[in-house]
Each structure stands twice: as C-alpha cells, then as structure tokens.
Amino acid sequence: MEKMGVPAIPMCTRAYTELANLTAARDGMPHLRQVFTPHPVGGKSADELAAYLVNSDPVSGIQIMKEIIDDLTRPLTADEMKTGMQSIAAGPATFGPDTSDNLQEIFMNNGMTDYMPIIIPTEEKVEAMLKGTSHSPDEVLRTAKQGVGYTSAQWGYTVRQIAVNAVMAGCRPEFFPVVLAMASVGSLGLFGSTTSSSTALVINGPIRDKLNMNYGLGALGPFAQSNAAIGRSWTLMGKNLTNGGILGDTYQGGQGNQLDYNNCIIAEDEKNSPWLPLHVQFGFKPEESVVSIFGGPDIRQGHGARGAGAEMAMFDEQISFMCQSMVAGDGALGILDPLVANRLVEQGYDTKEKLSEWVFKNTVRTVKDFKESFLAYFHLYPLALEGREPYATWYKLPDATMIPFFVSAKQINFVVCGGQANAFFQIANMNHSRSASTDKWI
C-alpha cells in the first residue's frame, strides 16, 4: 500500500459538522474520518474539556477516545483512499435578457447581493465604469486565499469583475480607482471568523475632495454617495469575487456584524486635523491618495469633554474602560473629532505617535485578566509556547503583574473626522492590515 504519512484525525466541535464535511469533500477527501466534540470549547475549564473526551461524539454517538483510537488504527477503505479536487463552476456568462425586477431576484436568490436592491450591471454600465481606470479589463489582481471552509482555494479577480461589483454597489466611474485599490490588497470583505469581525477603510489624500467624500458632520453616516457606495462595494466583492459570505460554510460569524452592509468608511479630515494624515505616517507622500484597511470586531463610542474640551483624564478613563472587552492581541483605531484632537494637542500630544505611546503605557491589566481575556488561550497561548514575545514572557509572570493591553504602540492608530458639533471619539477594536495607493489605478 502507498505510504500515506503520519496518521492524524481532525477534531472540531459539532457546530461545524457541515463545514468540516464540505471542506473535506472539496479537498478531495469526502470520506475523511473526523471526530466531533460538544460545542463550545471556548470558556470551558480543563476539567470540562476532559469530560468531553470520555463522553460520546455528539455526531457519531461513539465514545470520543475510543473513536480516536479506532480511527487512527483501522485500515483505510477503498473509498477513504480516493483523492481528487472538486472543480469550481464559474456560473453562466450572462443571465440573458429579462426584466429589471426579475434580474434583481436572480442576483438576490443566488446570494450575489447584500439583499438590498442593486444597480443591474449592464454591459453599458460596466463599460462606463471601466473608463474610470487606465488598466486593462482583463488584468488579474492579486489572488486571495480567503474563507473559513474553502481554505485550499486561491481566488483571483479581474478589473472587469471588480467593475461589475462596483456598478452593483452604486459606484460612479470616478470612484473606481479607490475600489480597485481596495481590491488590490488581496483579501476582500466578509471575514469568516466566528467573531463576526468587520472592516474599516480609511481614505486619505486629494481623492477625498475629488469624490466629495464626507469627513465633516455625520462623517461615518449615510450622507455621501462616495462613502456609501465605496463601502458597499467592499461587501459585494467579498461575496462575489472570493468564497466569502456563504452562511454555515465560509461565513461563521456568530451574530454577524451590522457594519458589513457598507463597513466603516473614514475619509480623514486632513485640513482640520492638527496631526499628520494616516497615510503619511505609513510612509506615503502627502499628495498621494491612499486607502488603508483595518479589520476587527467592533467600534465603541466615548466622550472626551470636561468643560471646554477634551481632557486627557477623561480620555484615559474611557479608553481604559473600552479596552476591558477588546479581543486579545488586536489593535485599536481611534476616530477623533477635531475638537478632541486639537484639545489633546494643547495638552502636549502634538503628534499621533505621542498619543499612541501614552495609550500604550496607560492601558494596562493584570496577567490574570490577560490570560482570561477573549481568545487569549486559543490564539496567544500557543504563540507563548512557541517562544513568541511578548506572550512567552507574559505567561510566565505572576498573575497580579500589570502588563499592557497592546503588544506595542504601533498597534494603536488615530484618524480625525467629524463635524465639531461635540467632543466625541470612537475606538475601533481593529488592526491595520495593508494600505494601497489609489493613484496607480487611475
């Protein structure tokens, strides 16, 4: 018999039975032996997890340890030794002529929308969108490897395919370079984690005014076509250009995320900000137009005013409180109204870097709280066992020792926008992933 390698049995919780079976089949192993435990495993004690192993597999009904030993030692059947990858259907080239209402239904029923009405991507509208860039419609952007279930698939998409989704989202041709820049990062919207994470997209440079983006009053709300349509295109590309957004398969968000409808679009108010724009901090030139991608679970709001303006004591108090429920290992994106930013400058924080350093040093918790924080045991403890710092050191410290919330000050970023109606700020529990120039896509 051909040598198959070291015997192994995949294990996961019963909540992912369908996903595990689908993934195995797509990878050419439809008869893969698998063991399932009760759900969940997160938040369970060592004793509770040990009890899982002596009880029955909730899917097969076989005692779990017996099932593991049997699966590892029983010879493979002929079906279990079969291999081969499942082919991927690209779908029809066109849907044929029909009424607008029927086409809306076709797109919706095939999971190609956010279940809101779309602009039907006719040949004429797609060709008009393509005039927003000098790039070839057939140019293939960086492929993405994305999704929870379909981990083996590499996904690529052309400029034309992106144009189709931009049309559907309601974009105008002049928005298209921003959409292409977002797509160029290679990992599109609708992150498949059970954490229901979403995306913030920060846009800097001259293109903000060229597209009449809103970075003043109601900056994060539905008050500009460019903000709304660009954000929506990110979601539609996630559904249609990768394998994202298939419920129970590639999307496992426990409760989902309202932000996913058009994400959090932030055009930074560079004029009223006392600090360097975000893209300049990241090494781009001030005259460049840039989109920066952040990902994470949520955004929470605070108020930074005592009397006439934002006070560091108030900022300190509220940021520390917000950090208590942040996901272990994630960063923070602070979204500050100009009133807050300028008041902080008056108190000595004349650069974003100084403010980031202050937050890093002043948001602390005990080692015990860190160890018990959300996902720390699953995501960060394995890194500590590998010797990855600072986690390796943190896990060796006494439980009462105070340590930072963040790994470094570089995990903490700030942008400025808002109408100066009140001294509010918001903190997104989100990490910066990549930034891309929009200029190269004009």
So what's the pLDDT on residue 49? 80
Output the six-digit token pair for 299: 């955004």
> Mean pLDDT, consecutive 10-residue segments, the chain of 442 residues?
68 81 74 86 78 85 87 85 58 63 89 92 96 96 58 74 96 98 84 79 98 97 96 92 74 79 94 98 97 86 61 66 65 92 91 93 90 82 92 95 92 95 87 94 96
Q: Which pLDDT score, from 0 to 100, does residue 41 have?
A: 79
Q: pLDDT tens, 3-59?
A: 557 778 888 888 778 777 777 776 777 788 898 888 887 767 778 888 888 888 888
* pLDDT score for 171: 98
Tell me the C-alpha to C-alpha distance, in Å, between residue 421 and each of 67, 223, 305, 425.
Answer: 63, 16, 12, 12
The reply to whether the predicted model has a pTM over 0.75 is: yes
Q: How far apart are CA 147 and CA 187, in angstroms?
A: 9
* Nearby residues of 16 by Cβ (< 8 Å), 6 or more positions away: 252
**Other C-beta atoms within 10 Å of 319: how many?**
22
What is the reported pLDDT for 200? 93
pLDDT at 375: 75
The pLDDT, as a whole number, for residue 372 is 86
Q: Which H helix or E strand runs over 280? A: helix 278-281
Q: Are 367 and 397 in contact (CB under 8 A)?
A: yes
Residue 1's pLDDT is what? 37
Q: Which residue has the tokens 């986690």?
A: 391
Amino acid type, 38: P
Residue 244 vs residues 18, 144, 146, 224, 347: alpha-carbon distances, Å: 16, 11, 7, 27, 45
Residue 317: per-residue pLDDT: 66
Task: Indicate the domain borders of the chain.
Answer: 11-81, 100-363+405-441
Per-residue pLDDT at 14: 85
Q: Which helix (H) or strand (E) holds 265?
A: strand 264-267
